[in-house]
Structure 1
Amino acid sequence: MSEKHLSSRFEADLDLLSSKLLEMGGLVEAQTAHALAVLNEFDSALVDDVLEGERRLNAMEIAIDEEVCQIIARRQPAARDLRFLMATSKCITNLERAGDEARKLVKRMRRIHRDGVARALNIAEIRVSGEMALNILRRALDAYARMDAVAAAQIVRDDEAIDNELRAFVRKLVTYMTDDPRTISIGLDYLFIAKAIERIGDHGKNIAEFVVYAVKGADVRHAHRKQLVSNASGV
Structure 2
Amino acid sequence: MDITSDIHSQHISRQFNHELEELKTHLMAMGGLVEKQVQDAVRALLDGDSSLAERVVENDRAVNDMQIKIDDECTRVLARRQPAASDLRLVLAVIRAASDLERIGDEASKIARNALELVENHDGTRGFVEVRIISEHVRKMVRDALTSFARFDTELALKVVQEDEQVDNEYQSAMRSLMTFMMEDARAISPVLGIMWILRALERIGDHANNLAEYVVYLVKGLDIRHQDPDDLGDEVLGDG
Same fold by TM-score greater than 0.5: yes
Percent identity (aligned) = 40
Q: Does 1:47 align with 2:86?
A: no
1:174-185 mapped onto 2 (5 Å cutoff): 174-185=179-190
State the 1:226 CA deviation. 4.1
| Residue in 1 that maps onto 2:85 | 79
| Residue in 2 that maps onto 1:137 | 142
Note the alpha carbon deviations across 1:32-71, whole angstroms, 9 max, x for none.
1101111211212211221222100111101100100110
Secondary structure of the equivalent of 1:159? helix
Secondary structure of the equivalent of 2:233? helix
| Residue in 1 that maps onto 2:40 | 34
State the 1:20 CA deviation. 0.4
More displaced stretch, 12-21 vs 217-226: 217-226
| Residue in 2 that maps onto 1:223 | 228
Q: Does 1:88 align with 2:94?
A: yes
Change (3 A) 1:94 1:120: closer
| Residue in 2 that maps onto 1:192 | 197
| Residue in 2 that maps onto 1:162 | 167
| Contact 2:145/2:212 (8 A) holds in 1 | yes
Q: TM-score by structure 1 length?
A: 0.94
1:15 maps to which of 18, 21, 35: 21
| Contact 2:54/2:116 (8 A) holds in 1 | no
| Contact 1:125/1:168 (8 A) holds in 2 | no
Change (3 A) 1:86 1:184: same
State the 1:84 CA deviation. 0.9
State the 1:225 CA deviation. 2.2
Q: Does 1:171 align with 2:176?
A: yes
State the 1:120 CA deviation. 5.0
1:204 maps to which of 205, 209, 231: 209
State the 1:111 CA deviation. 0.9
| Contact 2:182/2:189 (8 A) holds in 1 | yes
Is there any run of 5+ residues in structure 1 with no aligned partner, and where? none
State the 1:230 CA deviation. 2.8
Is there any run of 5+ residues in structure 2 with no aligned partner, and where? 1-9
Change (3 A) 1:169 1:47: same
| Contact 2:127/2:195 (8 A) holds in 1 | no
More displaced stretch, 123-132 vs 225-234: 225-234
Matched positions, count: 231
Q: How many angstroms apart in 1 are the aligned matches of 2:127 and 2:60?
A: 29
Question: What stretches of structure 1 move > 6 A for 4+ residues in a row?
Answer: none
More displaced stretch, 131-140 vs 106-115: 106-115
State the 1:7 CA deviation. 3.1
| Contact 1:51/1:103 (8 A) holds in 2 | yes
State the 1:186 CA deviation. 1.2
State the 1:168 CA deviation. 1.3
| Contact 1:216/1:234 (8 A) holds in 2 | no
State the 1:122 CA deviation. 4.1
Q: How many angstroms apart in 2 are the aligned matches of 1:13 and 1:20?
A: 11
